[in-house]
Structure 1
Amino acid sequence: MAVLGALPPGVRCRPIREADWEGVVDCLCRGFPERDRSYWIQALTRLSQRPAIAECQQYGFALEEAGRIVGVVLTLYTRYRRQEGDEIRCNLSSWSVDEEFRPYAIKLITTILKQRDVTYTNVSPAPATLKHNLALGFRLFSSGQFAFLPAFSSMQRSCRVLEARPDLAEMAMLSDSERYILSEHAALGCLSLICICDGAAFPFVLMPRRILRGLIPSYQIVYCRSLADLSRCAGAIGRFLWRSGILLCVVDAKGPIAGLFGWYRPNRGLKYFKGPRPPSLGDLTFTELVIFGP
C-alpha cells in the first residue's frame, strides 16, 4: 500500500551520490535478481557520463535507513533542442524497494515529479506498479507493439539507405538535434541510418534485440520522426538489413500501421508518460532500453 505522508524516523529520501554506488547496486540486485552486478555498474557508469542538466539529478533518488540503501529509482534526464524551444524528458527506471519499506516506495517517485516543465516516462513498468502509474497521473502513450518485416514493404526507386557517420555528407541534411541523436546512439551500440528519398533525408535509429524468448534476432525502432516516415522508408531499410540476415523489426504502436507488413500485438511493451509533451511513437531515445541495455 502506498504511503504519501511523512517518512518514519530514521528513513529519508535523498539524491543518489557517486559514493552510494555499492549500496545502490546491492539494492538493485535484490530487486532485480535476474540482472548481475556488472549490468548495474555499467548503468551507473553510463549515467555518470550523461550531460548534466541544471536542477536535475544525475542518478536518481534513494531511500536510506540507518545509512543503508533500501530503495532506489534511477533517472535518465535528456534535454532536446527544438526550434520551438527546449524540451526536457526524464525516464524513470529501475524502481526497487526492499520489502519492509515498500509502503514508502511511492515517495521515491513523488519526490521526482515536481518539475512541471519536464515530461516523465516509464517505458518498462512492472505489472505491480501500473496502478501507481495511474494514481500519479501517468497516461499511456503506447498500448502495444507492431512487429513487421520491412523488406516486404514497397520501395521507391529513389530511396537509398546509408549508415550514419560523422564524415558522411548527408548528415548535413539533418538538424543538429538529429545528428546528435544518431551519433550518440551509434556510440551506444545502435544502428543509426539515414534514408534519402526524393532528395529528403529521414533519420532512423535501430537497436538490436532478440525477441520471443531470445530466439529471434530483430531490431527495435528507437527513433523515427513519425510512423509515416517509417512506412515510407521501410522497404529501403528492409533491404539494407537483409544483408545482415535480420528480417524482423518492432516498433511501439497503438494499432496496425499502414504500409507495413506485420502484426499488431496489443498490451505488449506498455509505455506511460506524465507531463507537457508525450513522446511520439517510435521515439525511445536516451531511455533505459538504450543506455542500460535490454
Structure 2
Amino acid sequence: MFARCRRLTIRRRRSASWSAPTLFPSRPLGFHGDVDGTRFHAAYFAQTPGFWTHGDLIEATPHGGWRLHGRSDGVLNVRGIRVGTAEIYRILDDIDEILEAMAVEQQAEEEPGGTRMVLLVVLREGLVLDNTLAKHIRSELARCGSPAFVPARIAQVEALPVTFNGKRSEAAARDAVNARPVRNRDALQNPACLDAIAIHPVLRAPAAVRVSRGSAPDRAVVIDRDRLRQDLQDICERVLGVAPIAWSDNLLGFGADSLALLNLLLEIEHYTGHALPLSAFLAAPSIEGLATSRDLGAAEMAAQQDVRSGPRVRAVGPDDCEPVCHFLEQIFPESGIEAASWRRLFEHGWSDHKRGFVLLDGNAIVGFLGTIVARRQVNGEAALVCNLSSWSVHAKYRGWGMALLAALLRDQSLTYTAFTPQPISWAALLAQRFTTLDSHRIVMLPLLHAETLLAHRPVISFDPAAVRARLTSQQRQIFDDHAPYDCLQFTVSDGPDHAYLVVKRRAHRLNARRLGGPDKVLPVRIPYSDILHCSEPELLLRHLERVKLAILRRQRTAALVVEARLFPVRPRGVMLPLRTCYRSSLLAAGDIDRLYSEIVLLPV
C-alpha cells in the first residue's frame, strides 16, 4: 500500500531559456553570486524539467481529495513506516553530548523493505561515539519516541551539509550516504563534508551476518549461571547491534523490530539447544529473564506474562469488532478500505473459530493479527485452514509484532496460510517454519493463447442455479460460502469433463502519474481477474483463451492472473513475483487454494 504523493510543482512558461519561469508569490529570483543561474536551475528545475520543484508533498486521496503533507525532506519511509525527523531531533536535543544530528534514509537491499534509517551526529568537542553513547541514543529514542525512531546505524561526522542560507540539507546528506552524485552541491557552504560522509566506514560496512558461536555447551552439564548470562549477553549485543547491554536491561527498549527479535530467539535456541517460545521471552525480556527461563521452563515463564505490566496479547472478543475496524482504518489509510469491508473479517460465517488477536496497551488497541478460519475437506478428511490477515502494529510497538504471531501459532492443529505478507512479515513467517507456496503468478492478456480457440467450443455456464446443480456437495458448500462476496463462480464442460472455477475481481494500484500538469495527478487502478480455485486445471488449459475472454468480458477486466503452480505446464504470460506461504503438518502445497481468505473478504 503506497501513499500516492507528488512533489509540489509549478509549470514554467515554455521558453528556450530556463531562466524565465513563471513567477509566483515568494518565489526567489535567483541565488546571490550565481551569475549564469546554473545553481538556481540545478536546485529547482533540474529534477523535473519544465517544472519548479521543491520538497513539499501533496497526496491524492482515493476519494478525490488532496492532502498537504508539507516538507518531504523531513519525512522518512523506512520499511513502510513514515517517520518524521522533527520528532527525532526534538528527542536528540535533550542529549547533551550531541551538537547536531541528521536522520536520513539509506538504500540497503539486505534489509526488509530495502531501506534503513541512519543517524549522522556531530558531537561536542572532544567526545567520541562509543558503544555506551550509542546505546544511550537508541534507548532514548525508543523511550521518548518510538522504536521506529531508532536508527539502524549511527555515524559520528565532523560536520553536516549546510546551504548558503544556513539550512541543513538532508537531500545532500541522503545522496552522500547512498553514494549518489549530490544534486545541490554548489548550493552548500561545506560540500567537502559530503566526501567524508560518503566513505564513512559505519555507513559502508556490510550488514551484520549471523556467525556460528561454535559448539553449544553440553546439555548434560550444568552451566555456571554467570557464564550463561555472559554468553547470552554476547549473543544479544551481537544480534541487536547494541553494546553494552546490562543483564537487567529491557531488550525491547532498544528499538529492535520483530525480525531482529526473532533472529535473537533463533540464536538463543541454537545456543541452549531447546525452543524458547516468544511468549516466554516477552514475560521477562532481559538477559536475566532469558537465563531464568532456561531454569524455570518456558511454561512457567510464559505464565508470568499475565501479571506483568505493559502491552499484552489476547484473543479478539465479541466487543472488539468496531475498535479493531477503527484501528485498521487508521493503520491502513492509503488502502481506501472502509469500515464495512473491514467488518467482514468478523462477520463471515465460515467458522466459529476466534477472529484473531489484539495487542493492547491498557485498553487501547495498538496491534492486530486477523485469522480467517474455515473447515475444509481435503482428500476426504477435514482440516482447519487459517488465513492470516491485516498483521499490523503501531510504530511505537513494532517490537511486539511477533507476540501476536506467537499467540496464533500455539494452535498446532491448524494449517496456516499467508497470501499478502509485506517484506518484513514474509521474513518473519519463513523464520517460523512457513514454506513458500508459490513465488510467481502469471498475467495473461487477451488473445495470448489464441491457438486454444481451434479446439471445439466448451460449454461455459455462469447461471448460478445451473452451476450449483452441477457441483458436488463439497463444491456446493464452497459456492454458498463465497456467493455473498462478489466472486464469479462458473463451470466449464467438455464432454464428460467438468471444471469449477472461483474468480475474484481485483485491482492493481499504480503510483499516481503526472498527466500534463499538477492539476491532473490521478490514481491509476488496473482491474484484473484472479483465479482463486480451479478444480480441473488441465481442462482450463485446454480451453484457456475462450475461458479467459469470457471472464474478462464478464468482470470487465484487463487481464487474467493465476498462480504459476496451478498449471502442470505453464502457459505464456508475464511472470511476476509473488509472496505466498503456508505452514502445515497435514496438507501439502497442492492441497491449498486461496478460498476462504482475505482476498475474498477484502478489496486487497
> 1: distance between equivalents of 2:557 and 2:393?
39
- Please give the residue correspondences for 1:275-286 in structure 2 after superposition, counting only pairs within 5 Å: 275=584, 276-280=586-590, 283-286=593-596
Kept in 1: contact 2:541–2:567 (CA 8 A): no
SS of the equivalent of 2:587 reads: coil
Post-superposition offset of 1:150: 6.2
Corresponding position: 1:289 with 2:599 = yes
Post-superposition offset of 1:48: 1.9
Bigger drift between 222-231 and 69-78 goes to: 222-231
- Please give the residue correspondences for 1:4-19 in structure 2 after superposition, counting only pairs within 5 Å: 4=278, 5=281, 6=283, 9-19=309-319
- Please give the residue correspondences for 1:126-275 in structure 2 after superposition, counting only pairs within 5 Å: 126-149=422-445, 151=447, 152-153=449-450, 154-155=452-453, 156-157=455-456, 159-165=458-464, 167-168=465-466, 171-211=468-508, 213=510, 214-225=524-535, 227-241=537-551, 243-244=553-554, 246=557, 248-253=559-564, 258=569, 260-265=571-576, 267=577, 269-275=578-584
Larger % of strand: which? 1
Larger RCO (CA within 8 A; separation ≥ 6): 1
> 2: distance between equivalents of 1:164 and 1:283?
23
Kept in 1: contact 2:326–2:339 (CA 8 A): no
Q: Cα deviation per residue 1:49-71 (whole Å; 9 max; x = unaligned)?
A: 32334xx31x2100111111111
Instruction: Choose from 386, 390, 396 the match for 1:94.
Output: 390
Letter in 1 for 2:328: L
Post-superposition offset of 1:178: 1.3
- Please give the residue correspondences for 1:99-110 in structure 2 after superposition, counting only pairs within 5 Å: 99-110=395-406
Post-superposition offset of 1:252: 1.3
Post-superposition offset of 1:215: 4.3
- Please give the residue correspondences for 1:15-164 in structure 2 after superposition, counting only pairs within 5 Å: 15-36=315-336, 39-45=338-344, 47-53=346-352, 56-57=353-354, 59-82=355-378, 84-149=380-445, 151=447, 152-153=449-450, 154-155=452-453, 156-157=455-456, 159-164=458-463
Letter in 2 for 1:231: L
Letter in 1 for 2:480: S
Post-superposition offset of 1:279: 4.7
Post-superposition offset of 1:135: 1.2
Equivalent residue, structure 1, for 2:108:
none
Kept in 2: contact 1:150–1:261 (CA 8 A): no
> 2: distance between equivalents of 1:39 and 1:279?
33
Paired residue total: 286
SS of the equivalent of 2:333 reads: coil
- Taking only the aligned residue pairs, the percentage that are identical comes to 23
Kept in 2: contact 1:146–1:263 (CA 8 A): yes
Kept in 1: contact 2:441–2:564 (CA 8 A): yes
Kept in 1: contact 2:505–2:557 (CA 8 A): no
Post-superposition offset of 1:177: 1.7
Structure 1 stretches of 4+ with a deviation exceeding 6 A read none
Bigger drift between 8-17 and 105-114 goes to: 8-17
Q: Cα deviation per residue 1:216-270 (whole Å; 9 max; x = unaligned)?
A: 33210111125434313423312423644545200112598736332222x2x31
> 2: distance between equivalents of 1:179 and 1:16?
30
Quote the RMSD (CA, aligned, Å). Answer: 2.6
What TM-score does the superposition give when structure 1 sets the normalisation length?
0.86
SS of the equivalent of 1:18 reads: coil
Seen in structure 2, the aligned counterparts of structure 1 residues 188 and 79 have a Cα distance that, compared at 3 Å, is same
> 2: distance between equivalents of 1:75 and 1:201?
33
Equivalent residue, structure 1, for 2:180:
none
> 2: distance between equivalents of 1:282 and 1:116?
17
Letter in 2 for 1:225: S
> 2: distance between equivalents of 1:148 and 1:50?
33
Kept in 2: contact 1:221–1:282 (CA 8 A): no
Seen in structure 2, the aligned counterparts of structure 1 residues 282 and 238 have a Cα distance that, compared at 3 Å, is farther
What TM-score does the superposition give when structure 2 sets the normalisation length?
0.44
Q: Cα deviation per residue 1:92-129 (whole Å; 9 max; x = unaligned)?
A: 11011112222121111111112223110110001122
> 2: distance between equivalents of 1:99 and 1:210?
28
Q: Cα deviation per residue 1:69-104 (whole Å; 9 max; x = unaligned)?
A: 111011100111245211111001101111222212
Unaligned runs of 5+ in 2: 1-256, 262-277, 284-304, 511-523
Unaligned runs of 5+ in 1: none
> 1: distance between equivalents of 2:475 and 2:446?
22
Equivalent residue, structure 1, for 2:163:
none
> 1: distance between equivalents of 2:347 and 2:400?
27
SS of the equivalent of 1:182 reads: helix
Kept in 2: contact 1:226–1:281 (CA 8 A): no
> Which has the larger Rg?
2
> 1: distance between equivalents of 2:545 and 2:592?
17
> 1: distance between equivalents of 2:310 and 2:345?
31
Kept in 2: contact 1:190–1:206 (CA 8 A): yes
SS of the equivalent of 2:366 reads: strand
Letter in 2 for 1:174: L
Post-superposition offset of 1:196: 0.7
Post-superposition offset of 1:278: 4.1
